[in-house]
A and B are shown apart, each in its own frame.
Chain A
Amino acid sequence: MYYLQYLNWLYVGLWIAGFLVISGGLFYLNKTRSRWRKWLNPILVVILIRLIFFYNIGSWAFYYTVLDASDVGFRQIAAINYKIKRFLVFPEEETKYLAVGSSQTGAVYGRYSKKAKNFMTFYMPGMGAPDMYLYRNEIADLKPEHILLYLCEFDLARQVDLNLAKISPDQGFHLFFLYKDLKKIAEKYDSEQALKELLVGEVLIEYKYAYIFKGLTNKAFTVFKKKKKNSAEDNNPLKLNTDLQDHIKGLKAKLNQDDIALNIEFLKRFLSFCRQRNIKVTIIEGQYHPEAYDSHTLGLNRIVKKELASVSQQYSNVTFIPREDLIIFTADDYVDAYHVTGPNRDLFLEDVLSRTGMQ
């Protein structure tokens, strides 16, 4: 209901017109028993179904209301949320500052964005540089003047996951330009199947968003099944220290120097895109649990920091703020290996806001 005030009424009008035209066409074809009906009927029926289930804010709002992360996945529920926003027009002052990134971004900026009138977040669990690029149009549609990125080796020394890319928005003809790089990723990470599914999803929207309907049926079928409660990202502290150690181990295991170059390449594309649209970008060097810092992660940090500093020199719209220039989070600030919820978060935010001129 909150979003009704931002509804794109022009789109709504076009949708209603389209619905009436297609329905009318179907009615006419079948009433007059036109000789074209055998061919046109299936096409019009498919278009009508797509209008109702995929190009209709009401449907997306329904999916978002009924489903949750345990039904479809954290990333998927965030994708549905941003799909709704594509039907909305936000006043430009509300999206002047936009924090983009993974769930870490949500943890750091989420609470502030709810209070601030000119600050919004655009985050998705696991969002990396390639995902930022794939979501560039959705980000640009919010018309931000200034984007904040929270990046470090945690994001940029990580394997690119094409399995998540396949639920990203349609790339249209741009896919032809992207294909070579996506193929490179698929070959490097043995995810050819995910690439094929991404391509099929570009053609068949039903396939791309199949997870929604599978989630709905799964939810209906498991109505009597007792569910395990999922721990929310920044609310439930880990119960035992052993969980934290496992989480830290998992974090470190995902980081690899070989993955940096590909991630930086996509980051540069995203920054170029922002530059073309006169969007300022501030890259704030990210942090994670101090117990995860060791020779491996600090070695990666040196490489990534150098890359980020270089990128800020290359792109006139980009500023880089290394972590040493800001408040360093302590172990008490973390609810797990990388999500910040503790007391220093507010101090950190004040620091960021004053440095970026947002305050």
Chain B
Amino acid sequence: MLFNSFQFLFFFTIVYLLYRNLNHRWQNRLLLAASYIFYGSWDWRFLSLILTSTVVDYFCGLKIEHASAAGRRKLFLCISLACNLGLLGFFKYFNFFAGNLGLLLSKIGLATDISTLNIILPVGISFYTFQTLSYTIDIYRGKLKPEKNFFDFALFVSFFPQLVAGPIERASSLLPQVCNPRKILASDIREGLFYIVWGYYLKICLADNMALIVNDVFAASATITGPEAILGIYGFAFQIFGDFAGYSFIAIGVSKLMGFHLMTNFLFPYFVTNPSAFWRNWHISLSTWLRDYLYIPLGGNRNGVFLTYRNLFLTMLLGGLWHGAGWTFVLWGAYHGIILIIFRLAGEKSSPGTPEKASNPILTFFKIAGMFQLTCFGWLIFRAEDITQIKQMLTAIVCNMTFSSGTWFYYAATIIFYGWLVFVVQILQKKHNSLLIYENISYKTSLAFYMVVFYMTIVWGEFGGGQFIYFQF
């Protein structure tokens, strides 16, 4: 059940009407049932996996808390890690590792027949396993008390707006909202509706129209010209932003309507001047998860320069692998690790919480433009099917910079047409340091904004029910 489908609109209307008329306890039960229906609509068999993860982590959480011996605490943490990472590893990475192991063995002369299995990747498994892992790890670290009510915990794991593509919520943030009665204020409704409207625009209008260009370009990577390749990559940068940020905004908006406050997952990722800032603006829930549960446990920046860079690189490498079982994802992660290190070496690193230093606006413009090119190079690696395709695209850019076919103009005009509003909104959001632009613009401008979004979405939106890219993760 995709957010951009009639089924979801119908489903959520029913759920919301019931939700607003129930008390807290019954609201939670309704949401739990709705979440399982939502998840089961993809494939009812997936429910067994999420239930397994839920049951294991529920009991491990309680056991970790009540165990007095450090060894026993560690044991239950390991059980939780093994279960969640085992599920993730099997369903997502078995074929990848099996295939590559077979290839490696055959290259060193050991003929072997390692079979791969016909495994369906359960939707959202990368998201909810990380979410439940954060629960048991935080209990182990003493930062959180376990939830005794199984159904409330199950709702925390399976809460449908953010179940299949994030944001990856922390138990310390979401569990209290589940367990305690929620108030829905008028401002929550206003914010929720804004996020939903904006999220749908990003997905239906921006992302799905960019997909048409991107698919054309990457399908013809062997024969395209340089300008077409560049525009195809830019198109993908906007596609993945529109797709993923759009989904997150819809999830946040839907949650707000029900009184839940999820974390912001995207800010202004293409208006930054260095990779650290990029990761503080892009898929924030994942980057903070990786920071808190991988980078810091590895040692973070506490053990000298070399180990800091090692930890950064490993974190980004595994972050890349999280996105998919493929060498291009690993390469993308490694690429981001390398540019993070290079920028650190060059002294370019802004700490969280400190605003970017006010500097020469022209210099800042070029820094932002330069960082955007670096990000787009990463997207090329991310989107390409294999290394050959990366080479083809780069060859086109380097050796075939011709403007003779009119196709480049079509791509450029399309990107500008669907991207201009996003550009304007992001500038306004960054200027006022708030995603809720309606708080900082006049009534007439606000009306114009909603009219433009309405017409752009209804008239130029792609309603083919395009899958969200991050569902494959």
Contact = CB atoms under 8 A, between A and B. Distances in A.
Given A42-B450, A217-B417, A207 B409 contact: no
B44 interface: no
B443 A38 contact: yes
Contact of A45 (B410, B417, B447): B447
Nearest to A210: B459
B451 interface: yes
Contacts of B413: 220-221
Interface in B446-473: 447, 450-451, 455, 458-460, 463, 465
Nearest to A220: B413
Contacts of B460: 210, 213-214, 217
Contacts of A226: 405-406
Interface residues of B, number: 19
Interface string B373-416: 00000000000000000000000000000000111011001100
A214 B458 CA distance: 11
A145 interface: no
Contact of B405 (A38, A42, A210, A225): A225
Contact of A196 (B6, B417, B443): B6
Interface in A89-123: none
B410 A221 contact: yes
Nearest to A213: B459
B459 A42 contact: no
A224 B406 contact: yes
A222 interface: yes
A118 B168 CA distance: 70
A325 B406 CA distance: 54
B406 A223 contact: yes
A193 B462 CA distance: 13
Most chain A CB atoms below 10 A, which of B413, B443, B459: B459
B465 A193 contact: yes
A225 B407 contact: yes
Contacts of B410: 221-222, 224-225
A251 B6 CA distance: 34
Interface string A220-237: 111111100000000000
B312 to A, nearest CB: 42
Contacts of A170: none
Contacts of A333: none
B458 A207 contact: yes
Nearest to B465: A193
Nearest to B462: A214
B421 to A, nearest CB: 14
A207 B414 CA distance: 20
A356 B458 CA distance: 47
14 contacts: A42-B447, A193-B465, A210-B459, A210-B460, A213-B459, A214-B460, A217-B417, A217-B460, A221-B409, A221-B410, A221-B414, A225-B405, A225-B406, A225-B410
Given A210-B458, A213-B459, 11 more contacts: A197-B463, A206-B455, A206-B458, A210-B460, A221-B410, A221-B413, A223-B406, A225-B405, A225-B406, A225-B407, A225-B409
